[in-house]
Amino acid sequence: MLGLKLPTDPRWVNIVEKNIEEILTDHAFCEQKATSTAISLIVSFPEYTELVQEMVALVKEEISHFKMVHDKILERGWTLGRDRKDEYVIQLMKFFPKGGSRTTQLVHRLLYAALIEARSCERFRLLSEELEDKELATFYRNLMVSEANHYTMFLGFARQYGEKKEVDAKWQQLLEYEAKIMSDLGKKETVHG
């Protein structure tokens, strides 16, 4: 369903299980960044009313996810660590050239967001199926559904605001590029890395 060209090696969960505190910290910041992305889309493209309405709802949902993850950190007696660079996102954002029309910029940002949500969904599915900590596995199962909805929403908006055939071609190219990025990642206890 997600269209990802390179699935995550299930052994990634073994890495995560050795440092649950790290994955929860990284996950919390991913939710914060997702909130910021939605706000940024509102600020950058206020004339797209339907998008703005959906992003307002997304801000509320993502910040509530941040709180849920933060609460998990606190329940375990930890504090939220510092944010760290997301190598996956840094590499991903190099794919599309800078510039172009406002519509092109919007479509590119929507495609990036769709792919990040798709990969998060895929990773959350793995965590929900493979984590030995059943309470945390259930937590990730519930979040997985939200990520899938976000992925389809962003991809749908890209197809709505761009020329569908062109958007679909760019989406396939981005998926191929992302597979190359992922071939070097999956060795850290981070949501995307």
Residue 130, domain CATH: 1.20.1260.10
Q: For the whole model, what pTM was predicted?
A: 0.94
How many C-beta atoms lie closer than 10 Å to residue 43's C-beta? 10
pLDDT given at position 186: 67
pLDDT given at position 1: 58
pLDDT in tens, the chain (193 residues): 578 999 998 889 999 999 999 999 999 999 999 999 999 999 999 999 999 999 999 999 999 999 999 999 999 999 998 888 888 999 999 999 998 999 999 999 999 999 999 999 999 999 999 999 999 999 999 998 877 789 999 999 999 999 999 999 999 999 999 999 998 876 777 888 7
Q: Is residue 119 part of a domain?
A: yes
Q: Is residue 190 part of a domain?
A: no
Q: Which residues contact 19 (CB under 8 A, 6 or more apart)?
A: 189
Q: Is residue 5 part of a domain?
A: no
Structural domain including 61 reads 10-184
Q: Is residue 191 part of a domain?
A: no
Q: Is residue 94 part of a domain?
A: yes
- Distance CA(93)–CA(135), nearest Å, equals 34
- Distance CA(142)–CA(86), nearest Å, equals 23
Q: Is residue 55 part of a domain?
A: yes
Q: Is residue 68 part of a domain?
A: yes
Rg (CA), the chain: 16
Q: Is residue 132 part of a domain?
A: yes
